[in-house]
Amino acid sequence: MARFLLSAMPFTGHINPVRAVAAALVARGHDVRVYSGAAFRGPVESSGARLVPWHHAPDFDENNLAATFPRLRGKKGLGQLLINVEDVFINTSPAQVEDLRDEWDREPWDAIAGDDVSIGVALYAAQNGGPWATISITPLNLAGTQGPPSGMGLWPGTNPFTKGRDAVLRAIAPLLARSLATAIARSENSIGLQPRGLNMEQITFSRQLIVASGSPLLDFERTDRPDFLHFVGELRTPRTASPAMPAWWKSDVDGRRVVHVTQGTQNVDPTDLILPTLAALADRDDLLVVVTTGVPGEDELPFPIPANTRVAGILPYGELLPRVDVAVTNGGWGGTLAMLARGIPLVIAGGDLDKPEVASRVAWTGAAVNLKTGTPTKAQVAAGLDTVTTDPSYRDAAERVGVQLQALGGAARAAELLEQLAQPAYGSTRGPGD
């Protein structure tokens, strides 16, 4: 038996894939702790792991970040992204290190792994050594010698001009994020680590092991990836007690195609995407439009809905997605992977953070229409849906991506890789009590 400490930033979209890995490790007989926010005790413990809550680090509400990080108030676009990364991820990292030191003193581990923005884990590992892995739970943001920098929502160049553009962007990307490099150096210095002049990508990704959600098709099939990177497909959370499908599900779905509409779980403003989508489909009696608000128990929208629409807070994807014909989404990575793994073509309205990058990558595979905005009009949504539903190539591409995602092993493969990483620390024998 090995002892693992996994770290996930306190966001639903981060904890769910890490929880999937935790459950897979527990199933293989290992002892697992998850370092995250106190709000996620229930989900963590349902995986068989133990929660190590943020203590010195400022625990926060993912749906009200400005309450803890006031510089985010009123910010949008690149300004929002840079402040979000600096204040939420980088500036909390010294306190995360303090929490990790306390936990190590209380109960050591054989290997540590953090999601790809758990900078506290990266700093702790840099200072203390030992087996360390990164679990990439967002579109892979690992720099290389091909394509544009991740996060810009651009496709790799295919001719001398666009390849030259990519090279220029790779060169200037560190300059655009100088404030982040300064914040990283400040965090390193505050824990007694000599600043190393690293950027976000260099500090957050382990050079021992990267376990990446997604697949090569969703990484532009790049050939400049290191040997310590392993794609594992969808990190699907274990099936536990989940809400039952509503009473209307069986009766209303019969004979109709299903369109699923989601804006994810964080800071959802339903007027951004849900409202124009419902307006675009209001007269389609042949469709059942199923909306999830992302908030358990929040089964209504703040505006009237068409007769063909049903709303629920959360629905079990295991029952919903097999019946979905097409989905309209804001491009949350976890939900996008879940739908692609089941061969569902998408219309993506990615507005901020990593969402434009998700939209770009999925569109590159041919499995989605990228609306290139997080606040599309009724006409834009209607056109996107018309394209996806009338051109069979989108479903063909989604099924092709789905086959690749399913073949990569998921959480079980992630657990196997982490087990191999930890093996020198706990020996070659695996099993409870070993």
pLDDT tens per residue across all 434 residues of the chain: 999 999 999 999 899 999 999 999 999 999 999 999 999 999 999 999 999 999 999 999 998 999 999 999 877 766 778 889 999 999 999 999 999 999 999 999 999 999 999 999 999 999 999 999 999 999 999 988 889 998 889 999 999 999 999 999 999 988 888 889 999 999 999 999 999 999 988 999 999 999 999 999 999 999 999 999 999 999 997 666 567 889 889 888 878 999 999 988 766 789 999 999 999 999 999 999 999 998 888 899 999 999 999 999 989 999 999 999 999 999 999 999 999 999 999 999 998 888 999 999 999 999 999 999 999 999 999 999 999 999 999 999 999 999 999 999 999 999 999 999 998 877 644 433 34
Separation CA 21–CA 396 (nearest Å): 29
Residue among 147, 142, 154, 149 nearest 360 (CA):
154
Question: 309 near 284, Cβ under 8 Å?
Answer: no
Q: Which amino acid is at 128?
A: N
| Torsional class of 149: left (φ above 0), alpha (ψ -120 to 50), beta (otherwise) | beta
Residues 6+ apart with CB under 8 A from 9: 36, 88, 89, 115, 117, 118
- The CA dihedral of 257, 263, 269, 274, to the nearest 10 degrees, is -20
**What secondary structure letter does DSSP report for 214?**
B
Residues 6+ apart with CB under 8 A from 52: 5, 33, 34, 35, 36, 99, 103
pLDDT digits (tens, 9 = 90+) for 143-200: 888 899 988 899 999 999 999 999 999 999 888 888 899 999 999 999 999 999 999 8
Q: Tell me the C-alpha to C-alpha distance, in Å, between residue 143 and each of 180, 219, 286, 379.
A: 16, 12, 46, 37
Separation CA 95–CA 126 (nearest Å): 15
Separation CA 409–CA 231 (nearest Å): 9
How do the domains of the chain map onto residue ranges? 3-238+408-426, 248-407
- Interstrand relation of 287-292 and 309-312 (parallel, antiparallel or unpaired): parallel
Residue among 256, 278, 370 nearest 323 (CA):
256
- Two tokens, residue 367: 């499995």
- Two tokens, residue 335: 């939900």
Question: 238 near 20, Cβ under 8 Å?
Answer: yes
The alpha-carbon radius of gyration of the chain (Å, integer) is 21
Residue among 148, 133, 123, 143 nearest 228 (CA):
133
Residue 111 in 3-state DSSP?
A: strand
| Cβ neighbourhood burial of 235 (10 Å; 0-12, 13-18, 19+) | buried
Q: Which amino acid is at 375?
A: T
- Two tokens, residue 214: 């997604």
pTM of the model: 0.92
Instruction: Determine the CATH number of domain 3-238+408-426.
Output: 3.40.50.2000
**What secondary structure letter does DSSP report for 295?**
S
CATH 3.20.20.140, applies to 248-407: no
